[in-house]
Structure 1
Amino acid sequence: MIRILLADDEPLMRVGIRTILSADSGIEVVAEAGTGRETVDLARRYRPDVALVDIQMPDTDGLTAIGGILEASPRTAVAMLTTFGQDDYITRALDGGASGFLLKTAEPQELMAGVRAVADGGAFLSPKVARRVISHLRDRPASPAHAARERVAALSRREKDVLASLGTGRSNAEIARDLHLAEDTVKAHVSAILTRLDLQNRVQAAILAHEAGMSRRE
């Protein structure tokens, strides 16, 4: 069962999202919050598998709440839920440790797919968001490249191969197939990469891979 903390300051929006998620017998909304501070408090109390968090909420906005959620419940995956698609929101959320970015206008199937993806330790971006992120990565100035390459230099050759594959958004199963490794071995490499590079999730790893110019081509 995937346990969800749903945070949105609009009660009707929470009702709609809860109704969609309740259609999946493997998903349960265990708590709801209407403010950023309440979201952090409930994350500490319930330690959900996934926190679906709106960008704009009273007292503490969703972007600021990410850090508090991850500190209160490190195993909780955070997915931002918003009607907005501006690049600054996207990049701030991902850089802050969010594992997903879902638009409220998405189809129900996309919402549930996103919840399952981040609950499974992966990353999920709505297609419209993914296009913006890719565009942003391509447009980033070249200056971070040297620093990024220095960060990844300490990785083993195999860890670099895995990081390069993460840069293309591949799942553990796909990386295992591409590199002829057991999936458990890939999981161990991903965990080691995140720890060694002080990254919070696969999205941040993918961004670093792009900055270092090491993403594998499709």
Structure 2
Amino acid sequence: MTSHLFCSDTMQIPAALQKGFPVIRPVPISELSATVKSIVWLHLNSRQTIAQQLAPVKQHAPQSLIVVMSDIPNDLEALAAFSMLAKAYCNTHAGLEVLLNIASVVEQGGIWIGESIMQKLLGGSSVEEPQLDRALGKWSKLLTGRELEVAKAIAIGLSNKEIALKMHITERTVKAHVGAVLDKLQLKNRLQLALLVKEG
């Protein structure tokens, strides 16, 4: 049976999580075990990046299945979490049914993506299959060097501001590059682009 651990430096275990998994216990990241396979419910804090928070969990407990919990969920944060190999991303105050569903999917080796993110990934996309095949097969050749750099930065969850700082360009230029990339690859949004980049 998979054990459930809760890592947070700011709060008690959420009531719904405690109800769904009565034996869940709070554990400092430094005390996670490398030998025990468990679901680690990681409550994000706003003082560090997702990478800074997930890296030590992966270091101390490489076999753990990480569920990222955010007080104010957003698509870019979700993207960053999945790029760091989190198995799920959800609202800290998600209901019992959602939490049980997440645990079930993750325990079976799946990745749980929330409905709102899934809607943005799939909803309203009018990409035709031949166009998508072309993009999947040769997408990187369709982009300029700068556009490819922006696409890769999006895939690791960087915001426009962070990309601008990294590439020493303005946010306006980043937006122009993002628009051009989405247009050339005939994709609807950053999440689709990130998945495309990650699939190679």
How does the TM-score come out when normalised to structure 1? 0.51
Give the Å deviation of 1:62.
Answer: 4.8
* Correspondent of 2:26 among 32, 35, 53: 32
* Residues 55, 63 of structure 1: 8 Å contact kept: no
* Residues 14, 93 of structure 2: 8 Å contact kept: no
* Correspondent of 2:40 among 43, 51, 69: 51
Give the Å deviation of 1:10.
Answer: 3.6
Going from structure 1 to structure 2, the CA distance change for 1:87 and 1:50 (only over 3 Å counts) comes to: same
Give the Å deviation of 1:8.
Answer: 2.5
Q: Which has the larger radius of gyration?
A: 2
* Corresponding residue number in structure 2 for 1:181: none
CA distance in 2, matches of 1:56, 1:138: 37
Task: Note if 1:84 corresponds to 2:78.
Answer: no
Going from structure 1 to structure 2, the CA distance change for 1:15 and 1:104 (only over 3 Å counts) comes to: closer
Unaligned runs of 5+ in 2: 142-193
* Corresponding residue number in structure 2 for 1:7: 7
* Residues 33, 61 of structure 2: 8 Å contact kept: yes
After superposition, residues 1-218 of structure 1 pair within 5 angstroms as: 1-12=1-12, 14-22=13-21, 28-29=23-24, 31-33=25-27, 38-39=28-29, 41-44=30-33, 47-56=36-45, 62-134=50-122, 145-146=136-137, 207-208=195-196
* Corresponding residue number in structure 2 for 1:160: none
CA RMSD of aligned residues (A): 3.7
Q: Which runs of 4+ in 1 moved over 6 A?
A: 147-150
CA distance in 2, matches of 1:146, 1:85: 32
Query: What is the total number of aligned residue pairs between the two structures?
Result: 142
Give the Å deviation of 1:208.
Answer: 4.7
Give the Å deviation of 1:9.
Answer: 3.1
CA distance in 1, matches of 2:122, 2:31: 33
Unaligned runs of 5+ in 1: 151-205, 213-218
Give the Å deviation of 1:75.
Answer: 1.8
Going from structure 1 to structure 2, the CA distance change for 1:72 and 1:9 (only over 3 Å counts) comes to: closer
* Residues 89, 112 of structure 2: 8 Å contact kept: yes
Going from structure 1 to structure 2, the CA distance change for 1:50 and 1:85 (only over 3 Å counts) comes to: same
CA distance in 1, matches of 2:126, 2:42: 27
Going from structure 1 to structure 2, the CA distance change for 1:75 and 1:211 (only over 3 Å counts) comes to: closer
Going from structure 1 to structure 2, the CA distance change for 1:63 and 1:138 (only over 3 Å counts) comes to: farther
Give the Å deviation of 1:134.
Answer: 4.1
* Residues 83, 104 of structure 1: 8 Å contact kept: yes
* Residues 6, 53 of structure 1: 8 Å contact kept: yes
How does the TM-score come out when normalised to structure 2? 0.55
| 1:85-127 Cα distance to aligned partner (Å, 9 max, x none) | 2222011100111111111232211111101211221111221
Amino acid at match of 1:32: P
Identity of aligned residues (%): 11
